[in-house]
Copies of this chain bind each other. A is one copy, B any other.
Amino acid sequence: MALQTQTVQQTSQTLKLLGDYNRLRMMQFIYERECCVCELVELINLSQPAISQHLRKLRDGGLVMEQRKGSWVFYRMNEDHTTFNLMKEILQSLPSVQSELDELEQDGLNVICHK
């Protein structure tokens, strides 16, 4: 693991994207499980457009992939990205966000989609 090398440019771009507090938080959740926008809006203390704009940056950088399911758009990690293993290392070094996801469920604010 983490033994393949990737370009410095690619890596610095990934790190720049993860180097924003709110985006890093978003990635923590998306790493735990795929999330839709409205869930992230609940989980992160930011407006919906702000979340949307961050997600676009993450998608443009290739870090996440989007998938529309009905009216929701779900985002998940892009496991094919060059820096995926590195991202895993980074996200694993952080405290778990599981409890926050649990709380979201308890509040009935998680989205269940059968598409």
Contact = CB atoms under 8 A, between A and B. Distances in A.
Contacts of A19: 12-19
Interface of A: 2-9, 11-21, 24-25, 28, 83, 85-86, 89-90, 92-95
A81 to B, nearest CB: 13
A93 B5 CA distance: 5
Given A11-B24, A11-B90, 13 more contacts: A2-B89, A2-B92, A5-B93, A8-B95, A12-B24, A15-B16, A15-B19, A16-B16, A17-B19, A19-B19, A85-B93, A86-B89, A90-B90
By DSSP majority rule, is chain A's interface helix, strand, loop, or mixed?
A: helix
Contact of A8 (B9, B21, B89): B21
